Structure 1
Amino acid sequence: MTKWTPDLAGRSGPAYKALADAIAEAITNGTLPTGSRLPTHRDLAWTLGVTVTTITRGYQEAQRRGLVDGAVGRGTFVRGSESLGQPPVMDNRYAVSLPIADGAIDMSLNFPTLTRQAGLLAETLTAVARDTDLARFLTYGPDAGLLEHRVAGAAWLARLGVAVPPERVILTSGGQQAMVATMMAVCRTGDCVLMEELTFPGGKAAAQSLGLRPHGLPMDAEGIIPAALDDACRIHSPTILYTIPTQQNPTARIMSVARREAIVEVARRHRLFILEDDIYGHLMDSPLPTLASMAPERTIYMTSCSKSMAPGLRVGFTAAPPDLVPRIAAGVRVMSWM
């Protein structure tokens, strides 16, 4: 049995939740390695000066968060730090079956690490489930989302450097729906859609599903080369540029401020719409100005909670020029009546 005594002093909230938080921190910093057996309920209750019920509830909360496993007669054991950063195991019905060699690392998908926010998400979802005023959530809603959700979206976007009123925010089911709805709003069948030569496959799939022509642009260490963008605009007469300027997927390249200004200048000269995918913008310690802040009249900005909170939430926010908001919202309605 591990000789571990949590320090609950200064923690907010009920004591049992503070205990679960302490367990999570101890696993993260290595104090409680994988397989460690936690103190018995009675021993820890006596040490901390709380009731046995408090310890029982704390251990149950930790187990609910996926931190520990317990068995009657054997005790409570730490699942390990690796369980904090892993997404939930998918049902085989939804898993993509790909051969992976022994010892290989599967990098086909990435997920945000689930540490303390897992408990907060569970609390929030539980509160929603217990809400007795569910009528407004169980009927058809506005195409762009409920106003209160658009207000929350505007606040979220403001933290990422995109200051827009709620009326310009559209709620989407993740970033993929935002891509499709935006292309539906601005493109016609057969139009050319520009994107990085190496890019998120969902962007190419969105264009192809609508009968559009994706065209890859050469890149250097800072992403899209402005001269190549200029040439492509003259040759292919594209309607929109889909780009990931920050932590580009899959190259992780970041456009400098000067490069962003050059891209905006070319887009303005050719009257090219920009679809800015800022899914990884929240990872920057010192955020760079968004393309949307540089060219708000022609940039559709999109992000989601898939890389910052949890992909299963399927919550995305799109900010668009005023005249495009109803057109993009109409695209959302076609795919999933809100």
Structure 2
Amino acid sequence: VAVLGTALGSGHIRLLKRYCDAVCLLLDGDEAGRRRANEVLELFVAEQLDVRVATLPKGEDPAELLKRAGGEALRALIDKAPNAWDHKLQVVTEGIDLARDTHRAHAALEEMLTLLARVPRGTPSGYTVQLKQQQMLTRLAHRFRVDEATLRQRLKEMRHQRTSRPAKVTGSTVSEESPRELSLIEREFLELLILGDAVSSQVATTVAPEELEHPAAQQLLMAARELLAEGKVPSFDALMLRVEDSQLKFVLADVAEAAEAKADVTEAAPQERLSKLVERLGTRRAEAQSRRVIADLESQRYAEEEEAEALRRLVQEQRARQGISAPTDG
């Protein structure tokens, strides 16, 4: 898979997990490529996707290596690529005298423990992960000449700091590490939008952007409408290619994964789900309008006659939503 300059995020890695069990990371051999490989390791570790890192000759990219040495050289490089932990340890300790340069050695050890702290706990593959962590802690204790119990305590502190850290909010969006949740209605909308059939086209034209509250859902709807304008049917693959923002790709991958997980237990047909979605959106729209009317009444923005008419309409709308017939004379 070619990254093509895209900022790799958790959503991309979750998408990769649907198609493979292991990844070999192969980025340019210059300083920027090495640094980027080091950065994305945490994402792979957090998603528990097995990753190895092939280090290209300094200054070369994959195409240059293929041209110079051929496919066999590239395959050999991939075959001997170390796993994420070994690569990280090699990078953080490069050029450091661990016995004498105590400051840099401490910084390198903290980097390794930070990577370990990213691994989620309590997962189905928990035993295997815990075993690997135990092996790495033992290696680190031996390599840095630190008591293993001390490392274990420091790792526990780092995990606690991660779980107690508040979500970072910027403007109307939340960082990818703790994304703002989609509402149930918006999730249902996106699940129907990525089906790639007639219902996808219907939902894209039936639902208006202002009926969606989450910015990501609004932007994905606009992208779907762009596809329709070009004569293309919205689908998961088409939308992944259309959008460039990594947060939007993350949302798409997350929704697709959830939809696949519940596919076997969802009995309603897509058309039926669309009808219910439109009904729920209509109810939400009416409730929002009622709240605005009530707010206007409380702030006394209406003239006396307008206030009476607004109250009458408000009662009628609430009766209609609750299925209550209007009172009759007598």
Shorter chain as denominator, the TM-score bin is under 0.3
Q: Which is strand-richer, 1 or 2?
A: 1
Q: Which has the higher helix share?
A: 2
TM (norm. structure 2) is 0.22
Structure with bigger gyration radius:
2
TM-score by length of 1: 0.22
